[in-house]
Chain A
Amino acid sequence: MIRVLEPGLLSTIQDEGRKGYQRYGIIVNGVMDPFALQVANLLVGNDIEEAAIEVTLTGPTLRFEEETLIAVCGADFSALLDDKPLPLWRPVLVGKGSILNMKFSKKGCRALIAVAGGLDVPVVMDSKSTYIRAGIGGFKGRSLEKEDILPTNSLSLINQKILNLIKKQSSASTGFKTVPWSISEVFLKTEYERSTVRVLKGRQYDEFSPDSQKLFWSETFKLSTQSDRMGYRLDGPVLERKVSTDLLSEAVAFGTIQVPADGQPIVLLADRQTIGGYPKIGQVASVDLPILAQKKPGEAVQFEEITHREAQQLYRKREQDVQLLKIAINSKIAF
């Protein structure tokens, strides 16, 4: 059980999203940073797709009402656990009554807090993700509020093994109950510290003027203040479409870059509508969605062209890396 002492700016329960219902107009939701969710879950011994708490810019303060294991992944919030700086990207033991104060993000925009066993909220249409506008999923279909009490599931064998390992290994010298291993910095740097976001040409790319095509790759675009989980509105050079025919609305995807009539692109993200009618100039490669998810309003992005083949190969490699991570963690707890 977790008690919400302060909710933070926007803290919601999200998993990998509500898949299979877009044909009914029901949006996917889910985490903005799927990589951070997967890793956070693996670190505490959860299934990779278990729901976690996604926190934004200013984080919540939570009290854990029983001993458990957590992992915080994604943006670097200057989080404190019982007033001591919390290490990121590793499993940490939290004692009964411990208080996690997420404070605010120093670098990046969103972090995920995975809890061993997962959050015990109803599965609505195959997902625990919060769909705020429809008032379904997550905790009572809304973002967390002060004094909410989030039920958690009891620990599985794997959760318990990691917890036992931590109890055995943690030394008094570090002062923290964690393990002597974490996700490698080098690995994280390659995942998050690219200066550009790789993008495939969109279906209507060829309909944009040659100048606009050039500007799309050469200029930087700034995330406007109207950027949220639904999409990022970008400020930059005006992108001009040569043809004026209206398009028929059709399906869009996580990371689709649309250009409305004002020529300022919008990147569609986790809370996107199921269909869209604006021309699509590009599509963010799945492996770079976490980079985008960690941008804050006011920050800039630059796009770099990638082929569909490369994007698919990188995605396959990412999936393999996550599997290898799972194997590595399992080997640590084999004894």
Chain B
Amino acid sequence: MDYTLHPLSDQTVAIEFPQKIDRAIHMKIRQIGLLLDDKQPKWLIEYVPAFASIAIHYDVKMLNLQTPNDLPYDIVTTELTNILQELNEIEVEAPRTVKIPVFYGGSTGPDLEEVAKHNGKTPNEVIDIHTNGEYTVYMLGFAPGFPYMGGMSTDIATPRKNKPRLAIPAGSVGIAGEQTGIYPIETPGGWQIIGQTPLALFNPENEEAPTLLQAGDQIRFYAITEEEFHNWKENGK
């Protein structure tokens, strides 16, 4: 699969794949991340994976620049191209499956009815379709630990709210167009909120894994009752 390299800034290079949301491209991007984790080039500050690209922020101070004409970008892309030659040797472990409990509807899922009505379904049918899907986390962004997921059935696709809400509580599960997502922290937002999970998606105290989800995870939702939701919130399980 062909990729190209482009400068994103004077300290960042982007590796770009064909612009589409695609499992094979996603796997390549995961492989690049693993390869960089393994090689740890000294100029690497961090990499940021997305749907069809991965950006690499580099530290110009850590490059071996000889003459004033040496271009940091040239050195980084040369080394990067060498590293990427080993791309096909990297094995990607089978993805984790993360099960997310959700209390659908009620006061914490105020838009469940609207999503049902928009699609000519009952609220229970919406829950069935949402919990039957298997979702892939392509990347995290927008907020700490917010998963951009693919795989939602178009049968429950619903446009965003006309007027965004000023505050959507952490844990809210929503639908926007053909996407579904979970709000890790309270933020304003225009998604249709169909339920809430008692799980914490953002745990800043855990520096090794500050977010519950990571790119590559497979997600399944399952329904819990209001009582189970409150117990979980109070007792942590």
Q: Do the two shown chains form a genuine complex with each other?
A: yes
Point out the residues of chain B lying under 8 angstroms from A247, CB to CB: 19
Does A225 have its Cβ within 8 Å of any Cβ on chain B?
Answer: no
Report yes or no: A203 in contact with B46, Cβ–Cβ below 8 A.
no
Among candidates B45, B54, B207, residue contacting A19 with C-beta atoms closer than 8 Å: B45
Decide if B61 is an interface residue (CB 8 Å cutoff): yes
* Chain B minimum-CB-distance residue to A317: B68
Q: How far is the CA of A27 from the CA of B10 in the complex (A)?
A: 19
When distances are taken between beta carbons in the complex, the residues of chain B under 8 Å from A181 are none
Let me know if B55 and A250 touch, CB within 8 A.
Answer: yes
Interface size on B, residues (CB 8 A): 50
Q: Is there an interface contact between A125 and B55, defined as CB atoms closer than 8 Å?
A: no
A residues 85-140 with Cβ under 8 Å of B? 124-126, 133-134, 136
Given the known A-B contacts A200-B7, A203-B8, A312-B72, are A133 and B187 also in contact in the complex, defined by CB atoms under 8 Å? yes
A255 to B8: give the CA distance in the assembly, Å: 10
- CB-based contact A23/B140 at 8 Å: yes
Contact B10 A24 (CB under 8 A): no
Query: A335 vs B118: C-alpha distance in the bound complex, in angstroms?
Result: 78
Asked if B140 and A251 make an inter-chain contact with CB atoms under 8 angstroms apart, the answer reads no
With CB as the reference atom, state the residue of chain B lying closest to A21. Answer: B210
Q: How far is the CA of A249 from the CA of B140 in the complex (A)?
A: 11
A275 touching B210, Cβ below 8 Å: no
Q: Tell me if A25 counts as interface (CB < 8 A to partner B).
A: yes
Q: For residue A25, which residues in chain B have a CB less than 8 angstroms away from its CB? A: 140-146, 184, 211
Residue B9 at the A interface, CB < 8 A? yes
Report chain B residues within 8 Å CB of A136: 204
* Complex: A247 Cα to B50 Cα, angstroms: 12
Instruction: Name the A residues within 8 Å of B207 (CB-CB).
Output: 124-126
For B215, what are the chain A residues with a Cβ–Cβ distance below 8 Å?
A: 23
Is B9's CB under 8 angstroms from A283's CB?
yes
A→B interface (CB under 8 Å): 19-27, 124-126, 133-134, 136, 200, 203, 247-256, 273-275, 283, 285-286, 308-309, 311-313, 315-316, 319
Residues of B within 8 A of A (CB): 6-12, 14, 19-21, 33, 45-55, 57, 60-61, 65, 68, 71-73, 139-146, 148, 184-185, 187, 202, 204, 207, 210-211, 214-215
> With A20-B45, A24-B140, A254-B9 given, can you name 19 additional A-B contacts, CB distance below 8 Å?
A21-B210, A22-B48, A24-B210, A25-B184, A26-B144, A125-B207, A133-B187, A249-B148, A250-B51, A251-B55, A253-B9, A256-B8, A274-B140, A275-B50, A286-B11, A308-B73, A309-B71, A312-B60, A312-B71
